[in-house]
Amino acid sequence: MGLISGSLTFFRLHFQETIKLSNQEIQLALDKYSFNNLFEEEKFVNYGFVPFDFPVQTDFLTADTDFDGLAVFGVRIDEKKINKKYFDIEFERMKSAFLLENGKTYLTKTDKEFLKNALNKKLLKSSLPTTSIVEIILNQDEKCIFVSALNSKVMDILEHLFRLAFEIAIYRESMIENIRKKTNNAKLIDDMLMLTPYNF
């Protein structure tokens, strides 16, 4: 995992709410919205919290979460994708069989939807997911979290999970927001917002 070794590339996200949770409260929240508890087989994407050092550790109540005041854990994201070409081939097969069985010469819109849903369910069940683990560090004092991977999909997932588990709204940082937090100088921010581009 990146936090222990290798590149320490983590992205910072912020939240405004004040939270003062004990380690036990954090563990209970993580356990409640854990990957195992949120998992549904028919979903394309499953996600939820996992302990730090997963899969060596699988149980929140026995895993280490508190590291000198920082809460460290992970988010597991399993995503199933069906290859479009394979889907199209299988759909044609199902379509031919359906027309023969039902003595039809063409599919209605309802028929097509029925077949597509049935095929999706069948292929999803048998396909393996792509799994990724995002490492998370929660710093309550500084109202920020550090995450080891970030794109729009991961951001949506994290926003959802943190809202559920901790009732906080996380957001991406901006240059101005960072300066405001560091300096606490409203006039400086006002002056920056009035600037125009400079040609070096």
Partner 1 sequence: MKLYTDKKDITFLESEFLTYLLGKYYLGENLFDTENGSFYFEASEHIVLYNPNTEEKISIESSDFNLCKEIYTALKDGKKVFELSIKVKMGSISFDITFRTEPLRIVRVNAPKSIAENLQDKVIERGLYLKEIYEIYDVLLSDFAQTRTTDDWYIFIRKFREFITNI
Return residues touching partner 1 (CB under 8 A): 3-5, 7-12, 16, 52-53, 64, 67-68, 70, 72, 137, 139, 146, 169, 171-183, 188-189, 191-195, 197-200
Residue 177 Cβ vs partner 1, minimum distance, rounded to whole Å: 6
Q: Which residues contact 82 (CB under 8 A, 6 or more apart)?
A: 120, 123, 124, 127
Q: Give the relative orientation of helices 152-166 and 23-32 as an angle to the nearest 10 degrees.
A: 120
Complex with partner 1: residue 100 or 194, whichever CB lies closer? 194
How far is the C-alpha of 70 from the C-alpha of 23, rounded, in Å? 9
Residue 119 Cβ vs partner 1, minimum distance, rounded to whole Å: 39
Extract the tokens encoding 193.
Answer: 């917002």
How far is the C-alpha of 155 from the C-alpha of 13, rounded, in Å? 10
User: With 0-12 CB in 10 A as exposed, 13-18 as middle and 19+ as buried, what is 190?
Assistant: exposed
- Nearest CA among 45, 59, 55, 70 for reference residue 154: 45
Complex with partner 1: residue 71 or 80, whichever CB lies closer? 71
Residue 41 Cβ vs partner 1, minimum distance, rounded to whole Å: 33
Residue 72 Cβ vs partner 1, minimum distance, rounded to whole Å: 6
Extract the tokens encoding 9.
Answer: 């590339």
Residue 11 Cβ vs partner 1, minimum distance, rounded to whole Å: 7
User: With 0-12 CB in 10 A as exposed, 13-18 as middle and 19+ as buried, what is 143?
Assistant: middle
Pairing of strands 66-67, 70-79: antiparallel
Residue 190 Cβ vs partner 1, minimum distance, rounded to whole Å: 9
Complex with partner 1: residue 61 or 176, whichever CB lies closer? 176
